[in-house]
Chains A and B, each alone.
Chain A
Amino acid sequence: MNLDNDPFLKISESIENKYVQDWKNENKKVMGYYCTYIPEELFHAAGFLPFRIRATGHETDELADIYMVRFTCGFVRLTLDLALRGGYNFIDGLFITNCCDHARRMYELYDLTVFKKEEFKGRNHRFYVALPHVVTEGGFQWYKQEIIELKKEIEETYQLGNISDEALKNSIILHNENRRLLREIYSLRIIDKPKITGSEFLQISMANSSVPKEIANKELARILNLLKNSPGIEDTKKRILLMGSVVDNLSFIKTIEESGAHVISDFLCFGNRNIIDDVKIEGDLLENIANRTYYRMSCPRMMDDHERRFEYLKKEIKRAKIDGVVMQRINNCDLHGCENMLCEHEFKDLGISAFNFDREAFQTDTNRMQTRIEAFLEMIK
C-alpha cells in the first residue's frame, strides 16, 4: 500500500499545519518541546497542544551558527535557525528538559534570541524539568516532585485553576490510545510481508507529534484500517533495524530504502522507542504520568540503562526477523555515538551484522552514504 500522498503523512513534510492553525484560531495554546521525555498528558490536560520541535526540510543554519559553535548538534542548530526565521512563531511556550546538552540550552537561547521578537510578547513562557540521569527509586521521587511543581507552575502561569484529575484521566486515555494505535501500525511494519515502510512510519510519527491527539487518533485508526486491508510488500530486500540519533529527515531513511533495504524496525525517538510504554489509569494519575516518563524505554541520556536497552534490541531483532542493524549518529551527538560504540561490539559478539556511521542532520553526501549502506547490505549473510 502506498501512503505517499496520504494527507496525514503529508503533515510531516512541513512544520505548521492546518490543525495547528485551527487550534490557534480557537485561541488555544501550543507548547513547543524538544525531547520525548515530556509529560505530554499533563500539557494536554492543561489545554495545550504539545508540538514537538523539528526542522524537517530546513537546510540552512546560518543564523543559528551565530549562537551555536560547530561542535553542536546539527538537528538542534537547524531548529534554532528555523525558529529565528519565524518558523515557530506559533508556539506559546517552550518545555525543556535536560535531555542532552544541545537541546537543554535552548531554554536560554529561545529566551535571549527567539522570544525577544515582538511576535512573542506575552507568549514567551518557558518550563524546565530536571530529569535524573540514572534509573533509581530516589531518582523517581525527585522526578515526581518536579512534575508536581511543573503542574503548579503551569496552573499559575496561565491562570488555569486546578488541572483536574478528570482532565488528566481523559488525557491519559487519549495518549494511551494514541500509542496503542501506533503500536498496531508498527506491528504491520515488522511482519513477514510488511504493509508499511519505515519512511511511512516515520512520517506518521512526525505528523502525530504535530497535531492534536484527538485528530491524530482518528487519522491513525483510518490508516490502520487501510493498512489491514492492503496486501503486504513481497520482495527479498534485507530487513533493517535503524537506531541512533533523532531522525526527522525523510530523505535519510529513504536513502536506506533506496539502497535495497526495508527499515522494518527502529529504536528512534521519532519512532518505536516512544510508543512502547503506557500510563496507568488507576491511582495517583500525576504519579503515573511521572512514572511512565521516567521509567519508559530510555535513550542513552540514561547512563545506567544500557543493558535494558540492549536486551530490548535483541528481542526486537528476533521478533522482527532483522537481517542487520544500521546505527547512525548526527555529528557531535556524544550520547548516541557512545551508545552505538557499545552496541556495535555487543552485536558483533552475538554475530549480528551492524553498521555504524555518522551523518549531518540534513541530507548531504547522499551518494557516499548510499554506497556505504549498499556495501553493508551486501555483506549481510
Chain B
Amino acid sequence: MVNKIELENRMIPYKILLEALENTYELVDFILLDDTIPSLRIGLKYLISTIEKHIEEAREGLPIVGHHFAFQAEYLECFDLVPVCVEGTSYILSALLPEGVEKYYDLMENWGHPFHTCSSQKGVMGMTLDDLFRFDAIITPTGPCDNTYASYPYFQYTEHIPTILPEMPFLHEEKSYHFYGQQIKEGLIKLGKIIGQEPDWDKMRKALEMDNKSLKPQLELFELKKAVPCPVENMFNAMSAAMSVFAAGKQEKIDYYNDMLEVAKFNYRQKKHHGGEEKIRSIWPYMLIFFDLTLCEWLDREIGMSVLFDIFNYNFTELVDTKSDLDTMFYGMAKKGMDFPMMRQSTDFYYSFIDDCVNLAKEYQADCFIFTVHIGCKQFGSVGQILREALRDEVGIPLLMVDLDVGDQRMTSMQVLRDKINMFSQTLL
C-alpha cells in the first residue's frame, strides 16, 4: 500500500510553507484588529487554500513538477500534477520563516554555487540537494537571465531531473510570439511524455480563462492607485506577487483581487491612506525585498510612502484568446509569457523599460523611484543610471539605488535599507 506521508514528503518545503502560512495567518487574525493589513489577511487565506490543495495532490501521488515563475502555472493545468514554483518557493519561505532560507543558500554555496547567483533559485536548489524536494520533472523557459541558464543545469545534470527548456527568444516581435508559442506547446507535450500523461488542452483553456478573469479586478486596482492618497496598501504588492505565482489560473487568485478591489474602493471613497498620511508616492521599478515583509508596513506607517508598483505589479499582459484555435491560444500564451513581469523587461532592450517607467511616473504622479539592484539580476545591472537620467530629465524626480539580495538579509540588512530610505525621504519632504 502506498504510504501517503511518503508521497507528501516529496515536497517537504511545501509542508513547511503551509505551516508558516497558517501560523502567520493565526497571528494576524488573533493579534491585529479586523481591518488591519487586509491584503495580508486576505492573501494568506487564499494562499493557504492553494497550498493545502497542492499537498493533498502530492498525497494522492501526482507528479511533482518544478517550474520557473516565468513558465506560468496555469499552463501546467493541462496535466494532473503538483506545480512547484522554484523562485516563488525560495522567496515566500524567505519572507515567512523567522530564520529565512539562508541555510539552503549556504548549503548550495558550500557545494560550489557562486555567491553572486540568484537566491531565488539557490534556495530550492539547496532544498533539493538536501533531499527535501523530489521532482519528477522541471520546466523553465530560456529566460529571463544568466542565472536561469546557469542554475537550472544543476537540476538536469547533477540531480538528473528531466528538464524541459522551451526556448524564449530575445526581442518582442511577432515572430518571437509565434516561435515561443510553439515552444510552449512542444514543451508541454514533452513534459506529458515524461510524466506519462496526455496534455488536456481543454483543461488548460479553462485555467487560462480563469486567469483572464483575474486580470479585470487587477487592472481596476491599478487604476485606483492613481488616486491621491493611494487607496491600496503596500503589502498588496507582495501578496499580489505571491498570488500570481502560486494561484495562477485558480479561483483563489480571482477572489484575492476581487476582495482587494472592495477594500481599495472603500479606501478610495473615504480618501483613506493605509499609513494615515501619504507623504511620498514611490515606484519600485524592480523588486520589493522578500526577506522582511515588514518593510511594506514600515514604509506606509513610518515614512508615509506608498509603493505604487513594484516590477511584479505593473502588469502589461493581455487576455489570452481562448475562443479561437489552439495555435492562437499558444500565441496568446507566448505573448503573455513574454510580457510577464520581469520577462517583459529582460527579453527586450532597456528602451521600453525606461519608457514604461517614465510613463508610469507621470500617470501615477510618482515623487520618486527606488531601485533595488538585486545581486542575481545581471540583466538589470546596467540600467540604473540611464533610468535615473531619464526620470530626472523627463519627469524631474529622483531615483535611489540600493544594492542588495532581495532574498538574503545578510547582504544588505533591513536596518541599512531603512536608513537609506529614511535619508532619501528626507531629501524629498
CB-CB nearest in chain A for B353: A108
Selected contact of B373 from candidates A71, A134, A304, A340, CB within 8 Å: A71
Selected contact of B386 from candidates A112, A142, A341, CB within 8 Å: A112
Hey, which chain A residues are within 8 Å of B118, CB to CB? 334
Hey, which chain A residues are within 8 Å of B385, CB to CB? 66-67
B425 on the A face (CB < 8 A): no
Chain A 278-310 interface 0/1 with B at a Cβ cutoff of 8 Å (1 = within): 000000000000000000000011011011000
Chain B 54-81 interface 0/1 with A at a Cβ cutoff of 8 Å (1 = within): 0000000000000000000000000000
Given A67-B382, A107-B349, A342-B154: A142 and B114 within 8 A (CB)?
no
**Are A142 and B381 in touch, CB under 8 angstroms?**
no
Alpha-carbon distance between A270 and B156 when the two chains are bound, in angstroms? 28
B98 on the A face (CB < 8 A): no
A345 on the B face (CB < 8 A): yes
Hey, which chain A residues are within 8 Å of B379, CB to CB? 101, 104-105
Selected contact of B145 from candidates A73, A101, A130, CB within 8 Å: A101
The winner among A68, A145, A358 for most chain B CB atoms within 10 A is A68
Chain A 125-147 interface residues, beta-carbon cutoff 8 Å to B: 128, 130, 132-134, 136, 138-139, 142, 145
Alpha-carbon distance between A339 and B351 when the two chains are bound, in angstroms? 31
Alpha-carbon distance between A68 and B378 when the two chains are bound, in angstroms? 10
A148 on the B face (CB < 8 A): no
A60 on the B face (CB < 8 A): no
Interface-located stretch among B166-174, B221-229, B266-274: B166-174
**Are B373 and A69 in touch, CB under 8 angstroms?**
yes
Hey, which chain B residues are within 8 Å of A107, CB to CB? 349
**Are A142 and B167 in touch, CB under 8 angstroms?**
yes
Given A139-B167, A334-B150, A337-B117: A71 and B156 within 8 A (CB)?
no
Nearest chain B CB to A106 CB, angstrom units:
8
Selected contact of B183 from candidates A138, A331, A340, CB within 8 Å: A138
**Are B116 and A133 in touch, CB under 8 angstroms?**
no
The winner among B151, B153, B183, B376 for most chain A CB atoms within 10 A is B153
Chain B 135-171 interface residues, beta-carbon cutoff 8 Å to A: 142-143, 145-154, 156-158, 163, 165, 167, 169-171
Nearest chain A CB to B161 CB, angstrom units:
13
**Are A71 and B116 in touch, CB under 8 angstroms?**
yes
Hey, which chain A residues are within 8 Å of B154, CB to CB? 338, 341-342
Selected contact of B381 from candidates A102, A306, A358, CB within 8 Å: A102
Alpha-carbon distance between A312 and B403 when the two chains are bound, in angstroms? 39
Nearest chain B CB to A270 CB, angstrom units:
20
**Are A108 and B112 in touch, CB under 8 angstroms?**
no
Alpha-carbon distance between A195 and B111 when the two chains are bound, in angstroms? 38
User: What is the number of residues of chain A that contact chain B, defined by CB distance less than 8 Å?
Assistant: 49
Given A69-B373, A334-B114, A341-B111: A108 and B165 within 8 A (CB)?
no
A316 on the B face (CB < 8 A): no
**Are A72 and B381 in touch, CB under 8 angstroms?**
yes
Chain A 33-75 interface residues, beta-carbon cutoff 8 Å to B: 66-73
Nearest chain B CB to A38 CB, angstrom units:
16
B interface residue count range (under 10 / 10 to 19 / 20 to 34 / 35 or more): 35 or more
CB-CB nearest in chain A for B152: A303
Alpha-carbon distance between A66 and B382 when the two chains are bound, in angstroms? 9
Selected contact of A303 from candidates B149, B186, B384, B403, CB within 8 Å: B149
Hey, which chain B residues are within 8 Å of A145, CB to CB? 175
Selected contact of A335 from candidates B143, B149, B186, CB within 8 Å: B149
Chain B 87-117 interface 0/1 with A at a Cβ cutoff of 8 Å (1 = within): 0000000000000000000000001111011
B179 on the A face (CB < 8 A): yes
Nearest chain A CB to B281 CB, angstrom units:
25
Hey, which chain B residues are within 8 Å of A70, CB to CB? 403
Alpha-carbon distance between A56 and B259 when the two chains are bound, in angstroms? 59
**Are A338 and B386 in touch, CB under 8 angstroms?**
no
A329 on the B face (CB < 8 A): yes
Given A102-B381, A338-B114, A358-B114: A67 and B147 within 8 A (CB)?
no
Alpha-carbon distance between A342 and B351 when the two chains are bound, in angstroms? 36
Nearest chain A CB to B124 CB, angstrom units:
15
CB-CB nearest in chain A for B116: A332
Hey, which chain A residues are within 8 Å of B175, CB to CB? 145
Selected contact of B169 from candidates A130, A307, A341, CB within 8 Å: A130
B424 on the A face (CB < 8 A): no
**A interface residue numbers (CB < 8 A to B):** 66-73, 98, 100-102, 104-105, 107-109, 112, 128, 130, 132-134, 136, 138-139, 142, 145, 300-301, 303-304, 306-307, 329, 331-332, 334-335, 337-342, 344-345, 356, 358
A/B interface sample: 10 pairs, CB < 8 A = A68-B381, A69-B384, A101-B145, A101-B378, A108-B382, A109-B386, A332-B378, A334-B117, A339-B153, A342-B158
Closest 9 CB pairs of A and B: A337-B114, A341-B112, A338-B150, A133-B142, A101-B378, A130-B170, A101-B379, A72-B381, A303-B149
